[in-house]
Structure 1
Amino acid sequence: MQFQKTPGWLDWYQGPSKPGFTLPAGAVDAHCHVFGPGEEFPYAPERKYTPCDASKHQLFALRDQLGFERNVIVQATCHGADNRALLDALRYSDGKARGVATVRRDISDEQLQAMHADGVRGVRFNFVKRLVDFTPKDELMEIAGRIARLGWHVVIYFEAVDLPELWDFFSGLPTTVVVDHMGRPDVSKPVDGPEFALFLKFMRDNPNVWSKVSCPERLSLSGPRALDGERAAYRDVVPFARRVVEEFPDRVLWGTDWPHPNLKDHMPDDGLLVDFIPHIAPTPALQQKLLVDNPLRLYWPEQVKD
């Protein structure tokens, strides 16, 4: 089956540079995707966009190029609740990848158990209106209750302006909750302003809430320019991500977001994204928590030593 990529959206970056920052041993890319290939794993009829193909082979080659040892692969909205591409990548990874799936209310307990055996450890609830149609909250809460019995968590994707209306629902989820990309703050506003302060309060008030400090390429207004010869792009996002890392060091994750769907301005060099990490986690201790200890605790708890 042939799929035509959404016009104007960029292909992922070919030939990423080697990062200057050396990742700690055991580092996990805790947010990435696989797309298709469409001829093997067709995109969902209800999708809001059609991406370029981005296979498991290409993802794991990037993992090795950047210096990561493991991946957490998140189901993308273009595949809907058809998790076959995700599950295929998990099985191929030989235990080096875990997954976050999208499921519907009608999924059976046997299907959930089979997904667990393949490496799924969470489900994603998407509240970004331009990407998905609304799913009733009672259905999502029912799903959350069922996956809690497996020890899974919920990943939530929303935009900062929508947090007030979603606060009570998020606070009532019976699992660990992981926020994608810090709730997409508006980085043109002050890091000490009321909008980002509300997100920090949300994390303080809910000790089960974690955050991914990822996707500066989506949030930045200054863009990928390196300053003074440094590989220090996306400078305007640094204060926001660093605030979250330093205040909640045991509840943060980081990922590339490869292959970066829906971008029109520029496609990031993933090596440059890795070099963003020491600016938001400036000490070896924070880097160890962000890249190794926290993702292992959430996705490979059986391998964590007491």
Structure 2
Amino acid sequence: MTTFAPKTPGWLDWYPGPSEPAFRLPHGTVDAHCHVFGPQAEFPLAPERKYTPCDASKDQLFALRDHLGITRNVIVQATCHGADNSAMLDAVRAAGGRARGVATVPPDIGERELRELDAAGVRGVRFNFVRRLVDASPADALSTIAKKIAPLGWHVVLYFESADLEELEDFFGSLPAPLVVDHMGRPDVSKPLHGPEFSRFLRFVDRNEVQVKVSCPERLTVTGPPALDGERHAYTDVVPFARRVVEEFPDQVLWGTDWPHPNLKSHMPDDGLLVDYVPQIAVTGEQQRKLLVDNPMRLYWPGETA
């Protein structure tokens, strides 16, 4: 009898009953940042992982996709699976062309394996610099990976804390592949919108033509998630930061749910409310179309129509 690893103490499971969004997503909307976990019975977790999540299967992800009115997904390799991309690849294949993948790969990966990943739907690799999630992110190894994926036209997804950008931005700028930043570089939203920390991030985006995911207000908020009125406004302390990115870089922004929301401590978000967050940060129809459809389609399905 197989024994499965218990969840990390205090782990918050994803919310199984998301509300119906008030905002209707445009046809072709891409959830450009989501994950699958296991299920453990089919896809064991990495021994070196920093957390043990609940199961979050591809079928459950696709059910959420359909409930929210999303057309396509970009499934990002979860750190709990390490460099074994099996669960992510299984989900991408099962989506029948409606998903792409972002993988985690070792520096010694060969060209043949990379081309197999490309054929399976992978379009990028993720470099994680959040210290609580990884032991180390050696620059030489990551540079090696970036050089190997560049001929495929893949991009590098960067996950880091805002306070660490100063020491990392020169390295990021040296990478020979397009860059995508998770969750706006995790700004401290208790600091001024026009303060030095967020201004540094915006300069980095401008100088390097970075794509930015204006996602995860539930991770960044200080004030919390409650809706404040009948229009379902929430995460209002994060809104000015995301809106500024959308306004300054309308052709360089992406959106995603981050389902199933790993490692949250304060609350588990209602994914329907996360959809209703979109018109707070992208206030015009043109901004919404670029954020949700045009930009992710150009990055992950170039040449295809939504």
**TM-score surpassing 0.5?**
yes
Q: Alignment partner for residue 119 of structure 1, among 121, 126, 129?
A: 121
Q: Is the 8 A contact 1:128 1:159 kept in 2?
A: yes
The correspondence of residues 287-302 of structure 1 with structure 2, limited to 5 A, is 287-302=288-303
Q: Identity over aligned residues, as a percent? A: 71
Give the match for residue 10 of structure 2.
Answer: 8
Q: Alignment partner for residue 107 of structure 1, among 106, 109, 113?
A: 109
* Structure 1: distance between partners of 2:198 and 2:154: 27
* Structure 1: distance between partners of 2:211 and 2:30: 16
Give the match for residue 39 of structure 1.
Answer: 41
* Structure 2: distance between partners of 1:58 and 1:220: 26
* Structure 2: distance between partners of 1:108 and 1:41: 23
* Structure 2: distance between partners of 1:95 and 1:228: 39
Give the match for residue 52 of structure 1.
Answer: 54
Q: Please state whether the residue corresponding to 1:20 is helix, strand or coil.
A: coil
Q: Is the 8 A contact 1:19 1:271 kept in 2?
A: yes
* Structure 2: distance between partners of 1:300 and 1:267: 31
Q: Give the TM-score normalised by structure 2.
A: 0.98
Q: Please state whether the residue corresponding to 1:275 is helix, strand or coil.
A: helix
Give the match for residue 270 of structure 1.
Answer: 271
Q: Alignment partner for residue 154 of structure 2, among 152, 155, 161?
A: 152
Once the 2 structures are TM-superposed, how far is the Cα of residue 302 of structure 1 from its aligned partner?
A: 2.9
Structure 1 alignment gaps of length 5 or more: none
Q: Deviations over 1:52-91 (max 9, x none)?
A: 1000000000000000000000001000000000000011
Q: Deviations over 1:165-209 (max 9, x none)?
A: 0010001111110000000000001101111000001111112x1
Q: Deviations over 1:244-270 (max 9, x none)?
A: 001000000000000001112110000
Give the match for residue 198 of structure 2.
Answer: 196
Q: Is the 8 A contact 1:125 1:155 kept in 2?
A: yes
Letter in 2 for 1:249: P
* Structure 2: distance between partners of 1:107 and 1:194: 39
Once the 2 structures are TM-superposed, how far is the Cα of residue 228 of structure 1 from its aligned partner?
A: 2.6
* Structure 2: distance between partners of 1:200 and 1:89: 34
* Structure 1: distance between partners of 2:119 and 2:59: 21
Q: Please state whether the residue corresponding to 1:17 is helix, strand or coil.
A: coil
The correspondence of residues 60-71 of structure 1 with structure 2, limited to 5 A, is 60-71=62-73
Letter in 1 for 2:203: K
Give the match for residue 280 of structure 2.
Answer: 279
Letter in 2 for 1:299: Y
Give the match for residue 186 of structure 1.
Answer: 188
Q: Is the 8 A contact 1:148 1:175 kept in 2?
A: yes
Give the match for residue 87 of structure 1.
Answer: 89
Aligned structure 1 segments of 4 or more residues deviating by more than 6 angstroms? none
Q: Give the TM-score normalised by structure 1.
A: 0.98
Letter in 2 for 1:242: R
* Structure 2: distance between partners of 1:259 and 1:135: 24
Letter in 2 for 1:239: P
Letter in 2 for 1:78: C
Give the match for residue 165 of structure 1.
Answer: 167
Give the match for residue 75 of structure 2.
Answer: 73
Letter in 1 for 2:253: V
* Structure 2: distance between partners of 1:295 and 1:35: 23
Once the 2 structures are TM-superposed, how far is the Cα of residue 229 of structure 1 from its aligned partner?
A: 2.6
Letter in 1 for 2:197: E
* Structure 2: distance between partners of 1:110 and 1:49: 31
Give the match for residue 96 of structure 1.
Answer: 98
Q: Is the 8 A contact 1:297 1:304 kept in 2?
A: no
Q: Deviations over 1:252-306 (max 9, x none)?
A: 000000000111211000000000000000000000000000000000003159x
Q: Deviations over 1:124-170 (max 9, x none)?
A: 00000000111311110111011010010000000000000001000
Q: Deviations over 1:14-52 (max 9, x none)?
A: 110110000011000000000000111000000000011
* Structure 1: distance between partners of 2:92 and 2:195: 40
* Structure 1: distance between partners of 2:177 and 2:249: 18
Once the 2 structures are TM-superposed, how far is the Cα of residue 222 of structure 1 from its aligned partner?
A: 1.1
* Structure 1: distance between partners of 2:44 and 2:197: 39
Give the match for residue 250 of structure 2.
Answer: 249
* Structure 1: distance between partners of 2:137 and 2:208: 23
Q: Please state whether the residue corresponding to 1:236 is helix, strand or coil.
A: coil
Give the match for residue 220 of structure 1.
Answer: 221
Q: Alignment partner for residue 139 of structure 1, among 141, 162, 167?
A: 141
Q: Is the 8 A contact 1:21 1:278 kept in 2?
A: yes
